[in-house]
Structure 1
Amino acid sequence: MRILWLWLAFLSAAPAWGAHAYAQFGDIKYPPGFTHFDYVNPNAPKGGEFRMVPPTRPSNFDKFNPYTLKGNAPYGLSSGGLGYSLVFESLLTGNNEERTTAYGLLAEDVTSAPDDLSVTFRLNPKARFSNGQPVLAADVVHSFQTLTSKYVTPSYPAVLSQVKRAVALDQRTVRFDFAAPDRTLPLIVGGLPIFSREWGKGKPFDQVTNELPIGSGPYLIPTPALGRDITYVRDKNYWGADLPVRKGQFNFDRITFKIYLDQTAQFEGLKAGEIDFMREFTSRNWARQYYGRVFDRGDVVKRAFENQNPAMYQATLLNLRNPKFKDIRVRRALGLAFDFQWLNRQLFYGIYSRTEDFFPNSEFQAKGLPGPDELALLEPWRAKLRPEVFGPAVVMPSTDPPSSLRDNLVKARALLAEAGWTYRDGALRNAKGEAFTMEFLNDQPSLARVLAPYQAALRKLGITLSIRTVDYALSQQRMDNFDYEVTSINMPPLADMPASTLRDVFGSQAAKTPGSSNYSGISDPVVDALIVKVGAARTHDELTAAMRALDRVLTHGYYTIPQYYGKAFLIGYRPRPFVLPPTVPPYYEADGWAIATWWASPSNP
């Protein structure tokens, strides 16, 4: 249910046909006629197989349609985790050097109307689907209408709610009309997956499950067999192989994603040569397992790949739809019981940083007192905001001296008492005598050791935290239906998301829509209004002010308990026969970057 987030550009006047790229603030690195991105090898040979473990925790897949709510599609078919789909393409595509610029892929030209109420794309006449048919404007319209229908996961209609229509002007020209000027909308429609009208023709889209996709991407699925592992085969007739945005990329003949039952089995698979690339998410494993003869011989390399990405957002979610979490004092108290400093010392080997806000490791983090530009956005809502929002930014609790966990728990107990929860008869109870209990929905067995200290701290407050461990598929189903009390989530960088996506994560309407990404149930008119300001930003300064104001309001709501993030990708990979490009770009997802830009060389056996 992940969407390809593409930040495109605003151009102050409508350009003539021939606009090869779209930059949010006009800063386009590559001029018309460029041949390839600097961080790829345009002469990389094609061939070989690349085997890896998905960075998410998928189970067996039971469908080939990644856009419907029910069931599980194989990894790599949608953009989640990789940043793109191996099978479906979009009108525009980004790169790993520019966070706010995208270049033509299926579209060879793009123009925005002067009033920002529409954007028009002209399709590349060479664009072809895997069945050999041309990609036409009617396919784009069909894809848009399908992704805004009742048959898809609600995230798509939510993100596209401000797009009024898609109109085919001729066979290869399509225009999207917007309900209001919003400079993030062109990037949303430019990043939509486009699929053929022939895919599942004659069936309601939610029943298109076993039919192999008809996309225009560089890879095909060779077999209709459902199961656990999935192999993609490079389409040797791929129409876009020589495009500047594709030159030197997608070099492997076969890409296989292997699913293991547990982390121990997949690590042994890396050492045994069953897989070639694995991203490690557990600091203990990274510190204590990545050594031995296979590493000494160089059969497997352990490397931390640094990057300049805004960090992913990892946090403990409290379901605000549950009455016990509606009181902000309760939510603050639960955050005070989380001891990150102890966890980082004792369990994480000091490799993580504390997540302080919703946009970590980015320029959008609210800090100190709000500046004049933030105040201008917040002042009209003063009556609906807590006074603290106009003061210093929220700082996460610490247990570093002179602070301590005991001091934090004393503060937490006082907040809980103010909210009507007091300790008696062996538990924290409300006025009705009901004990304060919480169930943590968990699909990561390794998380139990992280939760144990938090359980112990909560127990001192009289709160019982039970852990319900389920598989990934059941966890996702319950999350989609908001059927949980407490859980943990690791979301793509929110700092890179356009306004319509932020609306799906934080918007009031999304809070009421099962299948949306507003798992916490945040519903605040001020948040809704600030997201509109994000979409309307004309300059980078305006965008920064709106995002910081949004971050300030969200953090003062104490809706989640921020956890931690790493500043590098922890990767174990087999160096032979693989060759890495000489330049590591600043902004990238490790898995997608490796798949797209590495290659296999016979001279590196």
Structure 2
Amino acid sequence: MTRTRKASTLTSLFSVMAFVAMPVFSPVSATEQAEPKHGIAMHGEPNYPAGFSHFDYVNPQAPKGGTLKMAVVANGFDSFNPFDIRGVAAAGISNYLYDTLLESSDDEPFSAYGLIAESLETPEDRSFVVFNLREQARFQDGEPITAEDVKFSFETLTTKGHPFFRNYYADVSKVTIESPRRVRFDFSDTSNRELPLILGQMPILPAHYWEDREFGENGLTPPVGSGPYRIGSFETGRSITYERIEDYWAKDLGVRKGRFNFDRITYDYYTDDTVALEGFKAGSFDFRLESSAKNWATAYTGGKFENGTILKEAIEHHRPTGMQGFAFNTRREVFSDPLVREALAYGFDFEWANKNLFYGQYTRTDSYFENSELASTGLPQGRELEILEPFRDRLVEDVFTEEYTPPETDGQAGLRQNLKTALELLRKAGYEIRDGKMVHGKTGEPLAFEILLFQKSFERVVLPFKNNLARLGIDVTVRLVDSNQYIQRLREFDYDMITQVIGQSDSPGNEQREYWHSSTADAKGSRNYMGVSDPVVDALVEMVIQAPNREELVHRTRALDRVLLNGHYVIPHWHLTRDRVAYWNFLQRPAETPKNGVDLNNWWAKP
């Protein structure tokens, strides 16, 4: 739903006072030095002032009412608990049922404002944060939200929830209830400036509801939340409807005004995207975010599009697009050698795919932080070079001497030259061709692997890649499984290669541990899909988390990006800087789209 820190720990107030002669004043506690604030920015100050009426990108007069019908292409759901690693949660649960302490804005790199928390207090070194809860904050059963609920949520999520929470909040050393509406978090690492903000993202669960229930075993019993919607009707695995709470406690706050406008939101499940597309055009649901270039170019035609009954728009956004690519599971022996991973990238012909499959709509991705100032470019120099220099003897020389670019097939030589380059790299890695098969020269083990998919539409991308590698004697198997099986295998790292999207924000921080840190490489359910385990990457991740200001964050992230790219953990795919959406014309959207792009929570139904 994802967010930096100091280069070194700041001297505390008490340390300074130990050496300064003071008059009759008593030492001032760190807590007293932290004034209550309505919001907080990762670096600098938040844009919106105290008491602001609404975000600039919403319509505060948006009418309430109507039904929004949505589609999910998946094999159903079997859980109403999105925070547990077991089961498959219903779409929309975490978005609509649970409020958080703070709410992030979509038009800033990373700023957050009070939602459940009326204010927060954190000192200059951000060694702790105190959240002061709103007196009117309520769960959906009318019970007040208290500091006890906040502490319960933290302890439950980090001990019984998805492993992500354990890693995300690893630097929290202590949680203290100071009063019924005041809770304090102390941090073991005072250089992690992001912690007050990401704690603000924590969903708050009702301690009284879970008192007699086992977390993660409530199945399809609708839980009690604190958000703007509750679960209405549902058909197990096939559909779920959320109903807006008319007396929702936060509806008039600046962070909620003009948002969550539909009376009902329904998700229907489809097992096939082609069927879903036809269902959309027939009026079975109202909004579609299109991921297929072919569909966008050919399928959105006919009378309803011509007369404006259905609208089709490509809406520009300015969010980082992250990385999509063929991801290698380096835990598997076949992909343990970076030379092999680099060689296989020469078998993917993006230029051919873009022309023949994607109607020329895409741009090749060459950064994990694509479409942002965080992406590395050219050769490292200046501050970025200073950051990388201490690691020079543990990095490949290409990090310093070659700008990373994924293989291209433009020009006369095209794929033939790329396959020749791939063959040279494989020979360096100890492989040779015997009887038409690529095998390891010492062991005789063939170079063979499986690509795991859950979207049949992606076969048209994967099969040409498979055929290109077959020309080198490499045996590639493509396996298509249902979405539930895919999720389980993903959690267990039970795959050779997958196609994966690794999203990024404008303010990378603690979540980078979840992606790249060696501590998550073998943690089941983590998002370290490639099994990255490298001390240099670990060090750079910590530097990103501890960046003291925006300028330093940019330099450190670019250095991390460069090292990851030269690790050849993925074969980069492509990206798009527009959201391709189609929707029925009773839906209306605000005049301004925030930099993060389309957000249906800001839309409404025409009265």
Q: TM-score range by the shorter chain?
A: over 0.9
Change (3 A) 1:213 1:99: farther
Note the 1:251-290 alignment, pairs <5 A.
251-290=261-300
Structure 1 residue 414 and structure 2 residue 424: aligned?
Answer: yes
Aligned to 2:86: 70
Q: Answer whether contact 1:299 1:575 (CA < 8 A) is retained.
A: yes
d(CA) in 2 for partners of 1:526, 1:464:
33
2:174 alignment counterpart: 165
Match of 1:28, as an amino acid? Answer: P
Shift of 1:261: 2.0
Structure 1: how far apart are the matches of 2:309 and 2:233? Answer: 32
Per the alignment, residue 2 of structure 2 pairs with 5
Q: Distance in 2 between the 1:307 and 1:102 partners?
A: 20
Q: 2:345 aligns with which of 326, 335, 339?
A: 335
Distance across 1 between alignment mates of 2:308 and 2:325: 36
Q: Which residue is 1:205 aligned to?
A: 215
Whether 1:44 aligns to 2:41 is no
Contact 1:9–1:26 (Cα < 8 Å) also in 2: no
Partner of 1:440: 451
Amino acid across the alignment from 1:36: H
Residue 470 of structure 2 is aligned to residue 470 of structure 1: no
TM-score w.r.t. length of structure 2: 0.93
**1:597 lines up with 2:602 in the alignment:** yes
The answer to whether 1:141 aligns with 2:141 is no
In structure 1, distance between residues paired with 2:253 and 2:300: 39
Cα deviation, residue 367, structure 1: 1.0
- For residues 311-330 of structure 1, the C-alpha deviation after alignment (integer angstroms, 9 at most, x for no partner) is 14211111100111111110
Pick from 492, 498, 517 the counterpart of residue 527 of structure 2. 517
CA deviation profile, 1:278-308 (whole Å, cap 9, x unmatched): 1111101111111011211222111111111
Give the number of the structure whose alpha-carbon radius of gyration is greater: 2
* Equivalent position of 1:176 in the other structure: 185
1:262 CA drift (Å): 1.0
Please list the CA deviations of residues 128-185 of structure 1 after superposition, one character each: whole Å capped at 9, or x if unmatched.
Answer: 0001011101100000001110x22211111111112222111111111111120121
Counterpart AA for 2:482: D
Counterpart amino acid of residue 491 in structure 1: I
Q: Would the alpha carbon gap of residues 208 and 497 (structure 1) be closer, same or farther in structure 2, given more than 3 Å must change?
A: farther
Residues 7 and 71 (structure 1), Cα distance of their counterparts in 2 relative to 1, 3 Å cut: farther
What pairs with 1:289-328 in structure 2 (closer than 5 Å)? 289-328=299-338
**Equivalent residue number for residue 490 of structure 1:** 501
The answer as to 2:387 corresponding to 1:377 is: yes
Instruction: Give me the whole-angstrom Cα distance separating, in 2, the residues matched to 1:134 and 1:364.
Output: 42
1:198 counterpart SS class: helix
| Secondary structure of 1:417's aligned partner | helix
- Supply the distance in 2 between the matched residues of 1:533 and 1:36 (Cα, whole angstroms): 35
The separation in 2 between residues aligned to 1:555 and 1:162, in whole angstroms, is 28
Tell me how far 1:539 sits from its aligned partner: 1.1
Query: Could you list the per-position Cα deviations for residues 448-503 of structure 1 after superposition, in whole angstroms to 9, with x for gaps in the alignment?
Result: 111121011101111111111001110010010000001101232x2446422100
Residue 403 (structure 1) shift: 5.1
User: Aligned partners of 1:66, 1:185: CA distance in 2, in Å?
Assistant: 22
Classify the secondary structure of the residue corresponding to 1:69. Answer: coil
C-alpha distance 9-248 of structure 1, shift in aligned 2 (>3 A): farther
| Cα separation, 1, equivalents of 2:103 and 2:545 | 20
> Residues 339-358 of structure 1: matches in 2 within 5 Å?
339-358=349-368
State the Cα deviation string for residues 40-81 of structure 1 (Å, max 9, x = none): 111111110011224xx4321111111111111111113xxx
Deviation at 1:99, TM superposition (A): 2.1
Whole-angstrom distance in 2 between the partners of 1:110 and 1:225: 41
SS in 2 for 1:398: coil
**Equivalent residue letter for 1:487:** I
SS in 1 for 2:97: coil
Mark the runs of 5 or more structure 1 residues left unpaired by the alignment: 79-84
SS at match of 1:227: coil
Contact 2:326-2:573 at 8 Å conserved across structures: yes
Q: Hey, what's the Cα distance between the residues in 2 that align with 1:9 and 1:300? A: 50
Match of 2:51 among 33, 43, 55: 33
Amino acid at match of 2:60: P
Q: Which residue is 2:23 aligned to?
A: none
Quote how far apart the aligned CAs of 1:223 are.
Answer: 4.0
> What is the deviation of 1:199?
2.9
Which of 555, 564, 579 does residue 545 from structure 1 map onto? 555
**Mapping 1:397-408, distance limit 5 Å:** 397-401=407-411, 404-408=414-418
Q: For 2:461 and 2:169, how far apart are their aligned partners in 1? A: 38
Correspondence for 1:456 among 429, 447, 467: 467
The SS at the match of 1:186 is helix
Matched, 1:99 2:99: no
State the Cα distance separating 1:9 from its structure 2 match.
13
| Conservation of the 8 A alpha-carbon contact between 1:279 and 1:571 | yes
Which string of whole-angstrom CA distances, capped at 9 and with x for unpartnered residues, describes residues 305-364 of structure 1?
111111142111111001111111100001111111111111101111111021111111
Change (3 A) 1:8 1:567: farther
Q: Distance in 2 between matches of 1:432 and 1:25?
A: 54
Question: Which runs of 4 or more aligned residues in structure 1 lie more than 6 Å from their structure 2 counterparts after TM superposition?
Answer: 7-10, 12-15
Taking the aligned partners of 1:520 and 1:18, their CA distance within structure 2 comes to: 42
Deviations 1:539-591 (A, max 9, x none): 11110011001001101111111111111111111012x22212222223x3x
State the identity as a percent.
41
The reply on whether 1:214 has 2:230 as its aligned counterpart is no
Matched positions, count: 583
Question: Alignment partner of 1:259: what SS?
Answer: strand
Q: In the alignment, which residue of structure 2 is the partner of 1:123?
A: 133
Structure-2 separation of matches of 1:184 and 1:24:
6
Selected match of 1:22 from 21, 25, 40: 40
User: When the two structures are superposed, what TM-score results if normalisation uses the length of structure 1?
Assistant: 0.93
* Cross-structure match for 1:81: none
2:237 to 227, 234, 237: 227
Indicate conservation of the 8 Å contact 2:293/2:357, yes or no: yes
Tell me if the contact between 1:198 and 1:214 (Cα under 8 Å) persists in the aligned partners: no
Contact preservation (8 Å) 2:3, 2:505: no
State the distance in 2 between where 1:35 and 1:495 align.
26
Q: Is the 8 A contact 1:389 1:553 kept in 2?
A: yes
In structure 2, how many angstroms separate the alpha carbons of the residues matched to 1:163 and 1:328? 36
Q: Give SS of 2:269's match.
A: coil
